[in-house]
Amino acid sequence: MIAFFGTGMLGSGFVRALRRRGEDVQVWNRTHAKATALEAHGARAFADPADAARGAERIHLSLSDDAAVDDVLERARPGFAPNVIIVDHTTTSATGTAARVARWQERGVPFVHAPVFMGPQNALESTGIMLVSGDAARVEALTPALSAMTGKLSYLGPRPDEAAAFKLMGNLFLMFLTTGLSDLLALGKALGVSPDEASKLFEIFNPGATIGARMKRMTDAKFSEPSWELSMARKDARLMLEEAARAKVPLAVLPSIAARMDAVIAEGHGSDDWTVIAKDALR
């Protein structure tokens, strides 16, 4: 039997998928109505997390943050079965995750962090990506159950907080990507290009194809053979900023990028490849 804590959009998708596979599921949510709504799918809802935990061999969590995970687990602890294992899908800090794994290990309760790159529909359809890290034997034992919940299960190694770190890095990139697209639309507005027209850029230009090579240049620190000199990239940034300023259209991220370029140019790197802006992160 499985207990699931946190039945918001993602958690409810997971629970419904578990029920479709015939799993016996007990659920708890801070807003109780969200838990009781899943009784229509055969889950059993409880108002107390300790009651939801009773009899469960596996407890899954999909909550808001570190504080919520710690609070709910402490409240649920009186109901833990002797052989229970905890699987947390919450996006949490790496620091908090490492401490949590150690704390529950001391209490004799295995804890595995398995955050996801999924939306609610992915959880329902068992698609998307699930990350997991920690004790290899423990993860191997969980692999059949976790694999059934996702389209791709990626084991990142024995470090208990590695999955948490990768999830935060991935979300950071998504934030930059989305804000970059917002800046692109803003620059398009300044240049008299409609959003629909601006989106056509990606029908002829695929920047995603360059990510692997760009990352390798950075990690190899091969900056002295430029394909695009930092000084020339800064010139282009100046043109963009000038066009936006003329149209009185604010840009969210480009000013910060330009400031970083200026700082690295001032250190004498204007003739290096523009990926040299990553040099401090590589030290």
Give the model's pLDDT for residue 283. Answer: 83
Beta-carbon neighbour count of residue 42 at 10 Å? 15
Amino acid at 53: A
Provide the residue ranges of all domains of the chain, joining segments of one domain with +: 2-158, 166-282
- Say what the pTM is: 0.94
Q: Helix, strand, or coil here: 248? A: coil
Amino acid at 239: L
How far is 92 from 166, CA to CA, in rounded Å?
11
The domain defined by 166-282 carries CATH number 1.10.1040.10: yes
Check: CB of residue 121 under 8 Å from CB of residue 9: no
How far is 209 from 229, CA to CA, in rounded Å?
20
Options 3.40.50.720, 2.60.120.10, 3.10.450.50, 3.90.76.10; CATH of 2-158: 3.40.50.720
Give the model's pLDDT for residue 19. Answer: 98
Q: Digits of tens for pLDDT over the chain (283 positions)?
A: 999 999 999 999 999 999 999 999 999 999 999 999 999 999 999 999 999 999 999 999 999 999 999 999 999 999 999 999 999 999 999 999 999 999 999 999 999 999 999 999 999 999 999 999 999 999 999 999 999 999 999 999 999 999 999 999 999 999 999 999 999 999 999 999 999 999 999 999 999 999 999 999 999 999 999 999 999 999 999 999 999 999 999 999 999 999 999 999 999 999 999 999 999 999 8
Distances (CA, A) of 233 to 173, 177, 246: 21, 18, 20
Give the model's pLDDT for residue 113. Answer: 98
Helix axes 94-106, 66-76, angle to 10 degrees: 20
Q: Which of 110, 106, 103, 113 is nearest to 133 (CA)?
A: 113
Q: Estimate to the nearest angstrom the gap between the alpha carbon of 233 and the chain centroid.
A: 30
137 burial (CB, 10 Å; 0-12 / 13-18 / 19+) is: exposed
Question: Using DSSP, how many helices (H) and how many strands (E) does the chain show?
Answer: 13, 9
Give the model's pLDDT for residue 126. Answer: 98
How far is 97 from 12, CA to CA, in rounded Å?
23
How far is 52 from 27, CA to CA, in rounded Å?
6
pLDDT tens track for 189-235: 999 999 999 999 999 999 999 999 999 999 999 999 999 999 999 99
Beta-carbon neighbour count of residue 3 at 10 Å? 29
Q: Estimate to the nearest angstrom the gap between the alpha carbon of 105 and the chain centroid.
A: 25
How far is 79 from 212, CA to CA, in rounded Å?
47
How far is 249 from 241, CA to CA, in rounded Å?
9
Check: CB of residue 132 under 8 Å from CB of residue 139: yes
Q: For residue 30, report the phi and psi dihedrals to the nearest 5 degrees.
A: -60, -45
How far is 137 from 118, CA to CA, in rounded Å?
25
Give the model's pLDDT for residue 73. Answer: 98
